[in-house]
């Protein structure tokens, strides 16, 4: 019995799904959380402020903006003065303060507050750090939440993106 072709097929499908989430305007994030939450978005935004790198996937609702998903990381200690190049962040790293380096959030109008468990594994890669307004930033992320009793325990979210600095 040969299992490799099925596994390769699954990996190929996952890679294709991740690539479909790429693009400047609109897309869909992937992973097992999608069976519980709508992770379609209109655009992605990237910011670096006060030592935090954040990529937000947003939609418009009336005159407001919904944050379908926000992936953020405390990065101040990783950035030499004036650095603007690529960055690969381990979101699940535990800092000296005891907090995780990365976090995932969601803020959607008319939806109950969504909290996510801590990360078992996770990564955020950007090809360049966000700087000036209008700059385009490309990258990818993946997260797997810790096992437990939370609704999202053990589930995954991932995607590639091209974000604009607002």
- Which pLDDT tens digit goes with each residue over 98-128? 999 999 999 999 888 788 999 999 999 999 9
Quick one: residue 9, left, alpha or beta (phi over 0 = left, psi -120 to 50 = alpha)? alpha
The pLDDT > 90 percentage for the chain reads 78
pLDDT value, residue 15: 37
**CB neighbour class for 112 (10 Å; exposed up to 12, middle 13-18, buried from 19):** exposed
Residue 24, pLDDT > 60, answer: no
Q: How far apart are the first and last CA of the chain?
A: 53
Average pLDDT, the chain: 87
54 φ, ψ to 5°? -135, 135
Q: Decide: 40 and 158 in contact? Cβ < 8 Å.
A: no
Q: What is the pLDDT of residue 18?
A: 39
Q: What's the domain count of the chain?
A: 1
Nearest to 123 by CA among 51, 81, 75: 75
For the residues 77-95, what does the mean pLDDT come to? 96
Domain that holds residue 44: 4-164
pLDDT number for residue 76: 95
Q: What is the mean pLDDT of residues 54-83?
A: 95
pLDDT of residue 113: 79
């Amino acid at each position: 019995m040969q299992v490799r072709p099925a596994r390769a097929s699954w990996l190929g499908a996952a890679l294709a799904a991740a690539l479909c989430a790429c693009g400047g305007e609109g897309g869909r994030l992937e992973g097992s959380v999608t069976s519980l939450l709508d992770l379609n978005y209109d655009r992605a935004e990237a910011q670096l402020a006060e030592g935090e790198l954040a990529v937000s996937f947003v939609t418009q609702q009336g005159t407001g903006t919904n944050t379908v998903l926000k992936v953020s990381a405390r990065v101040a200690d990783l950035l030499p003065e004036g650095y603007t190049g690529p960055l690969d962040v381990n979101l699940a790293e535990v800092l000296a303060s005891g907090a995780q380096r990365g976090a995932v959030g969601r803020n959607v109008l008319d939806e109950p507050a969504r909290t996510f468990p801590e990360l078992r594994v996770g990564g955020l890669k950007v090809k360049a750090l966000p700087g000036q307004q209008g700059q385009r930033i490309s990258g990818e992320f993946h997260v797997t939440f810790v096992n437990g009793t939370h609704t999202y325990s053990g589930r995954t979210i991932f995607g590639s993106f091209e974000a604009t600095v607002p």
